[in-house]
Amino acid sequence: DTGVSQDPRHKITKRGQNVTFRCDPISEHNRLYWYRQTLGQGPEFLTYFQNEAQLEKSRLLSDRFSAERPKGSFSTLEIQRTEQGDSAMYLCASSFQGAGTEAFFGQGTRLTVV
């Protein structure tokens, strides 16, 4: 296993278009997280899955954002009607269940909305 994989690495889109990102976690990990990072800031939590269940969503996640993890393996994050303010790095992380288990991050998807 090569770690958490995200696709694409970079995405440029026009305002108003829809985009979808994919995350493949480490295979044994049942927890999956999405974070967003804007320039000069630390990552901010967006949403969390345990297996296929989406158990928590941040208030940052507007109605234009939707995330799925249909079979408890890979996850997708879709942004509808993109806005310039959506430009950011979208990071995925995965971990085992448990208080002390560390989260491993993917390389991220850099979204630019023009």
Partner 1 sequence: GEDVEQSLFLSVREGDSSVINCTYTDSSSTYLYWYKQEPGAGLQLLTYIFSNMDMKQDQRLTVLLNKKDKHLSLRIADTQTGDSAIYFCAPKGQYGGATNKLIFGTGTLLAVQP
* Residue span binding partner 1 (CB under 8 A) among the ranges 12-20, 39-47, 68-76, 77-85: 39-47
The residue within the footprint of partner 1, chosen from 13, 20, 22, 45 (CB under 8 A), is 45
Phi, psi of 84 (to 5 degrees): -60, -30
Rounded Cα distance between 107 and 68, Å, is 19
47 touches 56 (CB < 8 A): yes
Greatest distance between any 2 Cα atoms in the chain = 41
Does residue number 12 form part of the binding site for partner 1 (CB under 8 A)?
A: no
**Which residues would be at the binding site for partner 1 (CB under 8 A)?**
4, 6, 31, 33, 40-45, 48, 50, 55-56, 91, 93, 95, 98-108, 110
